[in-house]
Amino acid sequence: MDDYLYLAMNGAAQAMLAQQSNANNLANVSTVGFKSALDFFESNPVSGPGYADRVYVSDEGSGANLNPGAVVTTGRDLDLALNGDGWFTVQAADGSAAYSRRGDFRIDPNGLLLNGANQIVLGDGGPITIPQFESLQIGRDGSISIRPTGQAANALVGVDRIRLVNPPQDQLYRGEDGLFRSRDGIEAVADASVSVTAGALESSNVNTVDAMVRMIDYARYYEHQVKLMKLASENDEASASLMRMPG
């Protein structure tokens, strides 16, 4: 009976973990460049005295669906969409370099180039700082050129180049901050084959219909495990009642 109850409790707990991951996907359906989480489950035998004749499911964590989202034209100079594979390099909270597909950039009052999550965008020389300008252009290679304030229309000055990288996808993992990093800890170098399109953004790749169906499935699975726990309790009470019956 204890094994029965344990398996049901574990099943309910794993359903809750999967539901949390799925809920996070739904919450980010409108987040620029977001990559949906993929949960994977593993069957594990219940070890202990005797033969392991019981098996429980374990949510071994979530991977990421790295398929590109739809590209939407915005016409805004600081909106960038990556063409095919590749990543923008940004500075994480701990100062290390990390990777993101989020291209909704802006310039803060200090001239720093940030993305929509307020993460510093890195260039060839570190954090990108853009002086006051009349106009700004970003090339397909990520190079940033401006016409400084008060200069002639043809006076374009190169400022920096956004560090575009393309590390092997199978070596990437998503951290708790939502940014991707290489498993080996080695920082990716700039890749000249990666290009961008200005005036466009990559949407989240979350499939809303699929996520809603998963939400319903996980909720039903959780309810089923709760019913099994209740049944285990009722069976335990019935067994105890039989043991109390006079001989």
When pLDDT is averaged across residues 148-164 and rounded to a whole number, the result is 87
Q: Please give the pLDDT value at position 136.
A: 93
Q: Does residue 99 share a domain with residue 195?
A: yes
Q: Does residue 220 share a domain with residue 98?
A: no
Q: Does residue 159 share a domain with residue 78?
A: yes
Q: Does residue 150 share a domain with residue 120?
A: yes
Q: Quick check: 247 pLDDT over 70?
A: no
Q: Does residue 239 share a domain with residue 168?
A: no
Q: Please give the pLDDT value at position 79.
A: 97
User: What is the full DSSP assignment across 100-111?
Assistant: E---B-EE-TTS
Buried b (16+ CB within 10 A) or exposed e, 146-175: bbeeeeeeeebeebbbbbbbbbeeeebebe
When pLDDT is averaged across residues 83-95 and rounded to a whole number, the result is 96
The model's pLDDT over 13-58, given as tens digits with 9 standing for 90+, comes to 888 888 888 999 999 999 999 999 987 777 777 666 666 666 767 7
Q: Name the domain count of the chain.
A: 2
Q: Does residue 193 share a domain with residue 80?
A: yes
- Domain encompassing residue 178: 71-202
Q: Please give the pLDDT value at position 165.
A: 98
Task: Kindly give the pairing relationship between strand 126-127 and strand 120-123.
Answer: antiparallel
Q: Does residue 76 share a domain with residue 148?
A: yes
Q: Compare 216 and 12 and report the one with higher pLDDT.
A: 216
Q: Does residue 27 share a domain with residue 78?
A: no
CA distances from 173 to 4, 26, 41, 66, 153 (A): 35, 20, 17, 11, 44
Pairwise CA distance, residues 165 & 161, whole Å: 12
Lowest-confidence pick of 5-19, 142-156, 176-190, 233-247: 233-247
Q: Does residue 180 share a domain with residue 153?
A: yes
Q: Taking all residues of the chain, what is their mean pLDDT, rounded to a whole number?
A: 88
Q: Does residue 132 share a domain with residue 28?
A: no
Q: Does residue 156 share a domain with residue 111?
A: yes
The model's pLDDT over 177-230, given as tens digits with 9 standing for 90+, comes to 999 999 998 999 999 999 999 999 999 999 999 999 999 998 998 888 888 888
Q: What are 218's two structure tokens?
A: 């996980």
- pTM of the predicted protein model: 0.81
Query: CA angle, 59 as apex, 223 and 34 as ends, to 5°?
Result: 100
Pairwise CA distance, residues 18 & 12, whole Å: 10
Q: Does residue 184 share a domain with residue 79?
A: yes
